[in-house]
Chain A
Amino acid sequence: MIYLDHNATTPLHPRVLEKMVPYLTEQFGNPSSFYGLGREARNGLEQAREKVAGGIGAREDEIVFTSGGTEADNLALRGVARALREKGNHIITSVIEHHAVLKTCEDLATDGFEVTFLPVDGQGLVDPEKVRRCMRPETILISIMAANNETGAVQPLREIVAAASERGVLVHTDAVQAIGKVEVDVDKLGVDLLSLSAHKLYGPKGVGALYVRRGTPLLSPMSGGHHERGVRAGTENVAGAVGLGEALVLATENRAEEMERLARLRDRLERGLQERIDDARVNSGEVERVANTTNLSFRAVDGEAILLHLDLRGICASTGSACATDSPEPSHVLQGMGLEPRLAQGTIRFSLGHDSTQEEVERTIEAMAEIVKSLRAISSVA
């Protein structure tokens, strides 16, 4: 099997599993319990919090563990909206956000909030100047992702934060696809809230975190116990949090070298595909992207048809995001970038990872050349 879908999920790193095992077995205590077993679990949880904080340049009390990226996004948007409702009702986001942000914003829009969905340019970037122009006195929050999950395009977050801070507006970023691929430091970026997820980082599924800068107003949308300083009720997923902590440590170790290696493999994959296949367009190819991701559109063929042929050859890739597999709609990200729908429909995302090799890349180029040729031979629009 050739796995080239690391933006969908990653395998658990053995070292992560190893750190988690005690908390799935002997150390099963509830971190809120009084006795030793509970304290051991609490220690594990707090050490994990230190590691997560260390991985993004934050302080421990700024990390809230969640069930993953989606919950972190929901908590950030709904939590700030609820806390600042009296101050204002305007939220700014972009059309290329993950559904966890888009759908939450749509939901808030039915609840009295006004949401501006900023367009992106042909390369999939949000223009910080547009952010500046869209701000109003009642703007309370800006949510722009750090790197796009489909194209890998790295957004100009620092410039967006600079624009926001002129008006004292809070900035949230979904950094799920950026962490471990580019440097993510909350102070250098200047963001107030940041979402991350473990399973994109060789950690376990079902756990993530929200960074909440000290002093950021946030009212939890969930009721329950006093866990996570009252921000996220529910007994903590200790083993998961430990896994996320270790995954973040791993992600920062050798990041530069690993990303250089992946960038070389990714560039070879792109060049190889473009040499062998006519009319293959690299989306967001002219801007800074995370090193592991490439997103290509092929004329006159359908992405899902390519995907099934790849799958039958044991190659795992995706059309857009894994979440979109059930939807017949072409990717909202590519449409937002102005790709005509039929070209957007012929799009494949390859996302490389630790286990990716040169040989896999060569085999994928070979397979893709055959597949696109055979599909174009039967295509009515070729």
Chain B
Amino acid sequence: MDFTSKLTAKLEELIKKEARKKEPPEPQSQMSGPRLFYTEEVIDHFTNPRNVGEMSREEADGYALIGDPSCGDQMKLWIKVEEGRIADIKFKSYGCPGAIATSSMATHLAHGKSLKEALDLNDDVVVEALGGIPENKKHCSLLGINALHAAVENFRQKSEAESSSTEESTEIQ
């Protein structure tokens, strides 16, 4: 019975300690839940998203509105293209922390890139740049990439339409 009396003493000690405590200790921020669940990079891009904003129709060279029907997330993305490069990029997102962080990272990675480089970016690159993302949030990382690719596509279509309309007008003249 030596074992049980030791156990009792230990538990009593713990109870007394518990009773003495008025305030529960502040959790150490490094150890709190989300930091284990989401990486520091995800938390950083979630709490301080890059390139948030909008562009007017005149300012933007490419625009995309992308939704994720599986969870209702939504993203709007605008790009400004100068000499074949993404000179400026702005976004707004509605969704979970994963959606916001991956939206932010996608725009961050695309900023300054050539259109080809932007089209080569994929969700794996975004996830890797964020130091990983929980498995059930992987689908969120497609939001930013899909919006980016769609905005580039939108720019190309607009440029083609413009150049063909220019050609047409030349012919008429």
Asked, given contacts A1-B24, A24-B11, A308-B97, whether A378 binds B18 with beta carbons under 8 Å apart, the answer is no
Contacts A305-B97, A380-B76, A380-B94; A311 near B19 (Cβ below 8 A)? no
- Cβ of A257 under 8 Å from chain B: no
Q: Collect the chain A residues with CB atoms within 8 Å of residue B87's CB.
A: none
Tell me whether A379 and B94 are in contact (CB under 8 A).
Answer: yes
Known: A26-B8, A304-B96, A305-B96. A345 touches B34 (CB 8 A): no
Among A22, A25, A304, A330, max chain B CB count under 10 A is at A25
What residues on B are CB-neighbors of A312 within 8 Å? 32, 34, 43, 47
A381 & B94 in contact (Cβ 8 Å cutoff): yes
Distance between Cα atoms of A14 and B18 in the complex (Å): 8
Whether B26 lies near A314 (C-beta < 8 A) is: yes
Proximity string of chain B (19-52) to chain A, C-beta cutoff 8 Å, 1 when within and 0 when not: 1000010110000111000100001001101001
- In the complex, the chain A residue whose C-beta lies closest to that of B8 is A25
Q: Is the CB of B76 within 8 A of A21?
A: no
A154 to chain B, nearest CB (A): 30
B71 within 8 A of partner (CB): yes
Say whether A300 contacts B94, CB under 8 Å. Answer: yes
Q: Whole-angstrom distance between the alpha carbons of A251 and B33 in the complex? A: 30
What residue of chain B has the Cβ atom nearest to residue A355's Cβ?
B24
Contact B92 A21 (CB under 8 A): no
CA distance A262 to B15 in the complex (A): 27
The answer to whether B170 has its CB under 8 Å from any CB of chain A is: no
CA gap between A330 and B95 in the complex, in Å: 12
Asked if residues A301 and B94 are in contact (CB atoms below 8 Å), the reply is: yes
Asked if B148 is at the interface of the complex by the 8 Å CB criterion, the answer is: no
Given A17-B15, A17-B18, A312-B34, does the pair A305, B95 have CB atoms closer than 8 Å? Answer: yes
By a CB distance below 8 angstroms, the chain B residues around A25 are: 4-5, 7-8, 11
Tell me the complex Cα distance, A300–B112, Å.
30
Task: Tell me the chain A residues, 17-35 only, with Cβ under 8 Å from chain B.
Answer: 17-18, 21-22, 24-26, 28
**Which of chain B's residues has its CB closest to A18's CB?**
B15
Taking a contact as CB atoms under 8 Å apart, the answer to whether B70 and A328 are in contact is yes
Is A137 among interface residues, defined by CB-CB distance under 8 A? no
Determine if B15 and A342 form an interchain contact, defined as CB atoms under 8 angstroms apart. no
- Chain B residues, CB < 8 A from A314: 26-27, 32
Q: How far is the CA of A302 from the CA of B43 in the complex (A)?
A: 16
Does the CB pair B49–A378 fall under 8 Å?
yes
* B146 part of interface (Cβ distance < 8 Å): no
Tell me the complex Cα distance, A255–B18, Å: 24
A326 at the interface (CB under 8 A from B): yes
B49 to chain A: closest residue by CB: A378
Interface string of B61-89 (1 = CB under 8 A from A): 00001000011111110000000000000
- Binding site secondary structure of chain B: mixed
Asked whether B102 is an interface residue with its Cβ less than 8 Å from the other chain, the reply is no
Q: With A312-B47, A326-B136 as given contacts, are A21 and B95 in contact (CB-CB < 8 Å)?
A: no
Nearest-neighbour CB distance to chain B for A170, whole angstroms, equals: 39
Residue from B4, B18, B52, B74 in contact with A26 in the complex, judged by beta carbons closer than 8 Å: B4
CA distance A377 to B96 in the complex (A): 15
Q: Is A276 an interface residue (CB 8 A)?
A: no
Q: Does B93 contact A (CB under 8 A)?
A: yes
Query: Are the CB atoms of A305 and B100 closer together than 8 Å?
Result: yes
Given A14-B19, A380-B76 in contact, is the A302-B94 Cβ separation under 8 Å? Answer: yes
Q: Which among B1, B24, B93, B96 is the interface contact of A380 at CB below 8 angstroms?
A: B93
Contacts A21-B12, A302-B96, A305-B95; A380 near B34 (Cβ below 8 A): no
Any chain B CB within 8 A of the CB of A281?
no
Contacts A24-B11, A328-B71 hold; do A378 and B4 have CB atoms under 8 A apart?
no
Residues of A within 8 A of B95 (CB): 302, 305
Whether A311 touches B32, Cβ cut-off 8 Å, given contacts A14-B18, A24-B11, is yes
Interface residues in A285-322 (C-beta closer than 8 Å to B):
300-302, 304-305, 308-309, 311-312, 314
Extra A-B contacts (15), CB below 8 Å, given A302-B99, A305-B95: A14-B18, A17-B15, A21-B11, A301-B94, A302-B96, A308-B34, A308-B38, A311-B33, A312-B32, A312-B47, A314-B27, A378-B93, A378-B100, A379-B92, A380-B65
Closest 4 CB pairs of A and B: A380-B92, A25-B8, A304-B96, A328-B71
Give B contacts to A, CB under 8 Å. Answer: 1, 4-5, 7-8, 11-12, 15, 18-19, 24, 26-27, 32-34, 38, 43, 46-47, 49, 52, 65, 70-76, 91-97, 99-100, 136
